[in-house]
Structure 1
Amino acid sequence: MRASNASDQDLGMPAIYLHLLAELLGTLGIDEQELLHRVGLNPSRLNSVDLRVSQPQASEFVTRAIIESGEPGLGIMLARELKLPLHGTLGTAVMSSQTLAEALDLMTRFLSLRAPQLEVTRQVHGSMATYRVRCARDLGPLQGFILDAMLYGCVFMGTQLTGTAVKGCRLERRGPEPGYFHRFRQQIPVPVIYGAGDDALIIPISQLDLPVRFSDHQLAASSRSQCELALKQLTDDAGFACRVRRVIETSHPFPPKLARVAATLFVSDRTLKRRLQEESMSFQALVDQVRLKQACDLLEKTGLNLSQIAETLGYADAANFTRAFKRWTGISPSQHRNEARKPPQRAPDQFVTESA
């Protein structure tokens, strides 16, 4: 069994993971918001299971986080914080599985939704099942962090699903044991063996039948269908315009300059424009798409006034924002807010009058 391989594309990293990492940095005495700003990320946009951050920005933030905190074990620390609902649709599907085997099969098939840089293969040798995890390409400083978060996260996930550490389970890790690991060893509920040929989670086949304590057959079916749709959308939206949009969506300050986005994606301004033109798109059109989505969210879900929303979206004043919103939607921001907040209309009761 092999997970979908999207390693040749930048499908980004879920923003919620960087949000959790930023919170961890705060507990270590790091000014996490200032660090996010330096990388060009907007802290208020990261607390979402749906948004994704471009791989270059994620890599820069993780690298700076490790250097400035002096903590190379941040991946293990993050793994402890990864509660299943934070994994979005995949987390729901895994939680509602019937058995541990079904949960691991879902993780294997849909890993691209949460960690597209990795691929998983499953092999059976005698009484043991081996889930081997590999990076399809060198991710630089991000690689060790992601492998730590994913592998140790799987161990903690097994405990969340079954209510106890899975008996006979172990982790094997490539290379020598890192100097920082001894500080975390007692927190890992299974043996960890370094010096192995691969990074792998190894589980007795007998343990794969363990029931999941949150099992829900109906929810499992619907959430698996949602995972299929999400995976298709993620891989369909793997073009260059989508990569640019991801940078715009999470940028600080907003809206970002074209040159800043080009530098983030390691291309020239001219190349960025050309590649967008090849996809019948422009940088300004992408900025406007993101602005409209954020404007609607702010109008519908917050009490910010128009001046505050205009400032958040990078407009000089409320009048400029209002003109742009009318151009996009045909109505004013106030009208949109009022329509969104109207209670849903009930259909009138139907009465059948019988003739005497």
Structure 2
Amino acid sequence: MSNRLRASAMDTWGKHGTASKTPDVRADRRMCARFVRSLDATLERPSWLLAGAGLDRKDELPETIRVGQYITIMSNMARHAPDPAYFIDFLEAGVPYFRGGIDLATRYAPDIRSAFAILPRFANERPGIFEHRLSMDARTLTLELDACMPLGDARPILTGAPLLFLARVAAANLGRPVHEARIELRHREVPYAARLRAAFRCRVDFAAPRDAITLPRALALCPSVTHDPAVWTEALARCEAEVEPTRPNSGWSARTRGACCNLLTSTGRVPRLEQVAGELGVSARTLIRHLKAEDTRFHALVDVLLQERSQALLRENGLAIRSVAEQLGLSDASDFNRRFRRWFGMTPSQYRAQALPPLTARS
């Protein structure tokens, strides 16, 4: 895969949105199209990429596409791309498979079992392609991926990527490759099988009865070398907020907040009213009316979200003020400083000095 293709995808790999347990409904759910847009531009808009996906070549690709369309596009990649195993390079380069709370939670979990448990708990609520099933007995821990819809020729890509991500999660938690793990793939052996085995760095079985990763129970329960209690707690809170729109009984305020979390994570920009309304399937005017009925306003919800996110980011030692501003989707550090002083009556640096103990006390 070319360096240009790899670089263009570094910030576009990932998904956001909502999900349903019904396969047909799940296929119609929408997901971020930035990764597909990047592929299309980098491959110089090949005619085969979007074939059969129902996307008009006359216009620029939309911001979101249906999950079913994504599967069609990935099937085209598997059949026609110069390098159908592009996902190996992406994940080895550190491109997150999930973004937002799930990415943070898996990286800073107390152990591998806790990291893997994030997926059944939260990833199943996203517009993904799989149901994640976690089980543990006296000897092993297994996380199985059960496809909710036909994957076609895209199966090797769509199963290989998340399982390689999970192998990377386990290795990061242990601080070494997990050679003791076993990867099972339902599809037949692919031409790039040797490359795939080298990336997994453990046993890989093709034509298996399921798509899964299994590792010894003892390793799954080992304390993680990357565990950070504060970040772990914040990550769980973010996961909860990001799946809130999937809960139909939630009020409009909670659903709006969840959609804002998703958009902030996936786009890197402060969410706009029209974007959030589109995520929730209503007009901007209707969303304003629903929020007013719950005695709140859209901009007030966004403001509170940015306040909470800024406090959590500032508690992550070593993150520059400029980087915090960027993660909040704000224009620059000066804009962030002005907002923070309005919110809390102090600068971000002053807040960090109060929130973090002196270095000598932490050492």
- Where on the TM-score scale, by shorter chain, does this alignment land: which range? 0.5 to 0.7
The residue type equivalent to 1:343 in the other structure is: R
Instruction: Find 2:140's aligned residue among 128, 131, 134.
Output: 128
Higher relative contact order (CA 8 A, sep 6+): 1
Instruction: Find 1:31's aligned residue among 44, 51, 60.
Output: 44
The structure with the larger Rg is: 1
Deviation at 1:141, TM superposition (A): 3.6
How far apart, CA to CA, are the structure 2 residues paired with 1:39 and 1:64? 19
Deviation at 1:220, TM superposition (A): 1.4
1:22 aligns with 2:48: no
How far apart, CA to CA, are the structure 2 residues paired with 1:161 and 1:17? 27
SS at match of 1:121: strand
Instruction: Find 2:66's aligned residue among 43, 51, 54.
Output: 54
Aligned match of 1:196: 208
Partners of 2:100 and 2:239 within 8 A in 1: no
1:119/1:216 CA distance change after superposition, 3 Å: same
How far apart, CA to CA, are the structure 1 residues paired with 2:211 and 2:194? 18
1:116 aligns with 2:128: yes
1:227 aligns with 2:239: yes
Aligned match of 1:12: 30
Aligned match of 1:187: 199
How far apart, CA to CA, are the structure 1 residues paired with 2:33 and 2:234? 24
Aligned match of 1:174: 186
Partners of 1:73 and 1:180 within 8 A in 2: yes
Identity, in percent, stands at 18
Deviations 1:274-330 (A, max 9, x none): xx9xx99579999xxxxxx9xxxxxxxxxxxxxxxxxxxxxxxxxxxxxxxxxxxxx
Partners of 1:4 and 1:111 within 8 A in 2: no
How far apart, CA to CA, are the structure 1 residues paired with 2:124 and 2:226? 23
SS at match of 2:206: strand
Aligned match of 1:243: none
Instruction: Find 1:87's aligned residue among 76, 99, 107.
Output: 99
Partners of 2:132 and 2:143 within 8 A in 1: yes
How far apart, CA to CA, are the structure 2 residues paired with 1:178 and 1:155? 19
How far apart, CA to CA, are the structure 2 residues paired with 1:59 and 1:39? 21
How far apart, CA to CA, are the structure 2 residues paired with 1:108 and 1:178? 28
Deviation at 1:342, TM superposition (A): 9.8
Partners of 1:118 and 1:136 within 8 A in 2: yes
Instruction: Find 2:161's aligned residue among 149, 160, 174.
Output: 149
Count of residues paired in the alignment: 248
The residue type equivalent to 1:153 in the other structure is: F
The residue type equivalent to 1:31 in the other structure is: E
How far apart, CA to CA, are the structure 2 residues paired with 1:200 and 1:39? 40
How far apart, CA to CA, are the structure 2 residues paired with 1:215 and 1:164? 15
Unaligned runs of 5+ in 2: 1-18, 51-55, 250-261, 267-277, 288-298, 300-334, 347-363
How far apart, CA to CA, are the structure 2 residues paired with 1:173 and 1:89? 27
SS at match of 2:212: strand
Partners of 1:6 and 1:116 within 8 A in 2: no
Q: Decide which moves more: 62-71 or 149-158.
A: 62-71
Deviations 1:201-256 (A, max 9, x none): 0110000123333322122122212212211214549xxxxxxxx9xxx9xxxxxx
Aligned match of 1:74: 86
How far apart, CA to CA, are the structure 2 residues paired with 1:196 and 1:139? 16
Deviations 1:166-185 (A, max 9, x none): 24111011243123323433
Alignment of 1:186-335 (within 5 A): 186-236=198-248
Deviations 1:147-199 (A, max 9, x none): 11111221122223332112411101124312332343323211101232111
How far apart, CA to CA, are the structure 1 residues paired with 2:281 and 2:239? 29
Instruction: Find 2:108's aligned residue among 96, 106, 116.
Output: 96
1:285/1:67 CA distance change after superposition, 3 Å: farther
Partners of 2:116 and 2:134 within 8 A in 1: no
Deviations 1:110-144 (A, max 9, x none): 12355621012123344112211110221334443
How far apart, CA to CA, are the structure 1 residues paired with 2:21 and 2:222? 28
The residue type equivalent to 1:22 in the other structure is: L
How far apart, CA to CA, are the structure 1 residues paired with 2:35 and 2:281? 32
Provide the TM-score with structure 2 as the length reference: 0.55
How far apart, CA to CA, are the structure 1 residues paired with 2:104 and 2:20? 19
SS at match of 1:213: coil
Aligned match of 2:313: none
How far apart, CA to CA, are the structure 2 residues paired with 1:103 and 1:136? 22
How far apart, CA to CA, are the structure 2 residues paired with 1:33 and 1:343? 46
Partners of 1:84 and 1:91 within 8 A in 2: yes
